[in-house]
Amino acid sequence: MNVLFGSPALHALVLGVGIVSALLGVTSYFIWFERKFAGRMQSRIGPKHVGPYGLLQPIADAFKLLIKADITPDTADRALFNLAPLLAVCVALLSLAVLPLASGLVIADLDVGVLFFLAAGALTVVPTWMAGWGSNNKYALLGGMRAIAQSVAYGVPLVLAALVPVILSGSMKLSDIVAAQAGGHWFALWPPGPGLGAGVLFVLASLAEGNRIPFDIPEAESELVSGISTEYTGMKFGMFYLGEYVHSLVVAALFVTLFLGGYDGPGPDVLALQLLWFVLKVSLVSVLLLWVRWSYVRLRSDQLMTLCWKYLLPSGLLLVAASAVWVWWTEQGGSR
Amino acid sequence: MSALEILGLSLLALFVLAGALGTVLSKNLVHSVLWLALALVATAGIYVRLTAGFLAGAQVLLYAGGVITLAIFAVMLSARIEGGPIPNESAKRGRGALVALAVAGLFGGVLLQADVLAPRDLPVVDAADIGRSFLGEYVLPFEVLSVLLVAAMIGAIVIARREDP
């Protein structure tokens, strides 16, 4: 494995601390951006009072969350209630470990990288369940159960969508998947069909797994107050909020890595330029996701399940078969 | 093995043990499920230490993700949905202890015979090799297992189905 600093352990530690800190900073400004963006889409201005253009708003918000009263309900399951927000953030950050930000700039370039982030995604049900059950509140519990049903359902198309780049590149290592797309051969563009289809499927399924609008029925505020975070106050609520935003940024980054060539872009292969391309692509995809989020209304619970099982799952199977045929066909062409 | 590696493995073993004991001894069914999740994830950690990355990923994805979710649903659908902890009394402790002792004896015996404590370089298990052996040498057992799983699933649906009125 390529390491930048001495031993693999030191490499993972330095990069891990660096990337996580950077991401947490980016996330708070991503929230500021989303509020501005949503404001503009609804003919409002968005945050503007704290600092120029409201730029100090994230800091004010974080401070407010920190000094708010920390309430644990009397009848809550204390251990689960307090552990859940912490685990939610940790699980959301897990996928970062295998993301290549630039050539060699990856915390741990695992051979089974794709499997790793799928497994990390599957773990989100645990903190959700801990919060939903531990709050001892019927809205929280209903929200938790909805979230779990949703992640189980959408985990299946997510795996199928992630399988398409694996088949096309012949590797589960994310750096190999990026290398296979080098020189503009991004899987979203080529082969026409399976790549783009799988990309769309991947985004839909991961948004649903992370409970973002239009798939946010677990905390549908008109029905469930605010789902699993109903009983949470102060920073513990803040951590759920943070976890959700980290998840949506990670989804954008994974989409870029799997389907948009990762850090591949025109220009010489220098680290800074690769990083720039990566950040640029992730930002564009994130804005696109925000656009979707603020344009569509929430689906109903049964519509969500219909969409998953009747449409996304069969199309996922078709896409996997199509990409396998494509690989077989190109290999035949190559040997002839 | 270096002292650091031994420390890491011991910590993982401690987590597995704590999870397993918590699962059986906890008086609250929900806590039991979560202790089981801890035991399963820590087992995946041991697989990683043994350079079986694919197995570790599959363990977390299928057991911690799938099995725990099913367990949660089983708990929620079989018990009253709200209002305090769900009691979890252990039944038939004597027989349970007997089975546990027998399993511990079996594994202990095997481990004592095998030369596991000798230092060695573990071969890295490649996911591609696992795939090749599943679809090559062991394709028949693999497919038979799939048929078995489908049969079990159909069986569960038939048992759970209510007759139409």
Q: What is the average pLDDT across A179-194?
A: 81
Fold of the domain spanning B3-93: Four Helix Bundle (Hemerythrin (Met), subunit A) (1.20.120)
Residue B103 to chain A, least CA–CA distance (Å): 29
Question: Which two structure tokens, joined as six digits, stand for A318?
Answer: 């078709």
A224-269 residue pLDDT tens: 666 777 778 778 888 888 888 888 888 889 999 988 888 888 878 7
Residue B102 has pLDDT above 90, yes or no: yes
DSSP 8-state symbol, A104: T
Mean pLDDT of A58-70: 84
B144/B146 Cα distance (integer angstroms)? 5
Q: What is the pLDDT of residue A141?
A: 81
Most confident option among A199-208, A285-294, A319-328, B112-121:
A319-328
**Which of A180-184, A252-256, A281-285 shows the lowest per-residue confidence on average (mean pLDDT)?**
A180-184
pLDDT attached to residue B120:
63
In this complex, the residue of A122, A125, A133 whose CB is nearest that of residue B30 is A133
Asked if residue B57 lies in contact with residue B41, where contact means CB atoms within 8 angstroms, the answer is no
- Nearest to A237, CA basis, from A38, A101, A103, A86: A86
CA gap A20, A97 in Å, rounded: 9
Q: CB of A77 within 8 Å of any CB in chain B?
A: yes
Hey, what amino acid is at A105?
Answer: L
Q: Is B41 on the interface with A (CB under 8 A)?
A: yes
Reported as a single tens digit per residue, the pLDDT across A39-59 is 888 888 888 888 888 888 888
Distance in angstroms (rounded) separating the CA atoms of residues A301 and A146: 8
The region, left, alpha or beta by phi > 0 then psi within -120 to 50, assigned to residue B122 is beta
- The pLDDT score that the predictor gives to residue B54 is 85
Can you give the pTM of this predicted structure? 0.84
**Which residues have C-beta within 8 Å of that of residue A319, sequence separation ≥ 6?**
A160, A161, A164, A193, A194, A197, A198, A201
Contacts with A126 from chain B: Cβ below 8 Å: 34, 37, 64, 68
Between B52 and A323, the more confident residue is A323
Q: Is B106 exposed, middle or buried (0-12, 13-18, 19+ CB in 10 A)?
A: exposed
In whole angstroms, give the CA distance from residue A66 to residue B16. Answer: 35
Interatomic CA distance for residues A30 and A286, integer angstroms:
9
- Inform me whether the C-beta atom of residue B84 falls under 8 Å from chain A C-beta atoms: yes
Cβ separation A112–B84 shorter than 8 A: no
Mean predicted confidence (pLDDT) in A288-314: 83
φ and ψ at residue B28, rounded to 5 degrees: -120, 120
CA A123 to chain B, closest CA, distance in angstroms equals 6
Query: Contact, A87 vs A137, CB < 8 A?
Result: no
Domain locations in chain B? Answer: 3-93, 124-165
For chain A, percent of residues with pLDDT exceeding 70: 92
Nearest to A112 among B31, B37, B53 (CB): B53
DSSP helix/strand/coil, A112 = coil
Q: Which of these ranges, A10-24, A28-42, A318-332, B73-87, has the smallest mean pLDDT?
A: B73-87
* DSSP 3-state of A263: coil
Average pLDDT over residues B147-160: 91
Give residue-wise pLDDT tens across range A125-141: 888 888 888 787 778 88
- Looking only at Cα atoms, what is the longest distance across chain A? 73
Q: Which two tokens stand for residue A149?
A: 């049903």
Chain A residues lying within 8 Å of B76, measured CB to CB? 145
Query: Which residue does chain B place closest to A127, by CA atoms?
Result: B34
Question: Of all residues in chain B, what percent carry a pLDDT higher than 70?
Answer: 85
Q: What is the pLDDT of residue B48?
A: 82
Q: Do residue B69 and residue A115 have CB atoms under 8 angstroms apart?
A: no
- pLDDT at residue A220, rounded to an integer: 60
Higher pLDDT, B66 or B140: B140
Q: List chain B residues with CB under 8 Å of A154.
A: none
B64 has a chain A CB within 8 A of its CB: yes
Would an 8 Å CB–CB cutoff place A76 in contact with chain B?
A: no
Q: Does any CB of chain B come closer than 8 Å to the CB of residue A118?
A: yes
What is the mean predicted confidence (pLDDT) over B14-41? 88
The string of DSSP codes covering A170-229 is: T-S-HHHHHHHTTTT--TTTSSTTHHHHHHHHHHHHHHHHTT-TTS-GGG-HHHHTTGGG
Residue A125 at interface with chain B, using a CB cutoff of 8 Å: yes
pLDDT value, residue A122: 83
Region B23-48 average pLDDT: 86
- The answer, yes or no, to whether residue A336 has pLDDT greater than 50, is no
Q: Residue B87: what are its φ and ψ, rounded to 5°?
A: -65, 150
Residue of A nearest to B124 (CA): A111
B67 and chain A: CB distance < 8 Å anywhere? Answer: no
**Does the ipTM exceed 0.90?**
no
How many angstroms separate the Cα of A53 from the Cα of each of A88, A236, A284, B79? 31, 28, 21, 52
Q: Between A221 and B98, name the one with better pLDDT.
A: B98
Q: Which of B28, B67, B69, B129 is most worth mutating to test chain A (most A CB atoms within 10 A of its CB)?
A: B69
For residue A74, give the 3-state DSSP assignment. coil
Highest averaged pLDDT of the listed ranges A169-173, B97-101, B126-130: B97-101
- Pairs across A and B, CB distance < 8 A: 71
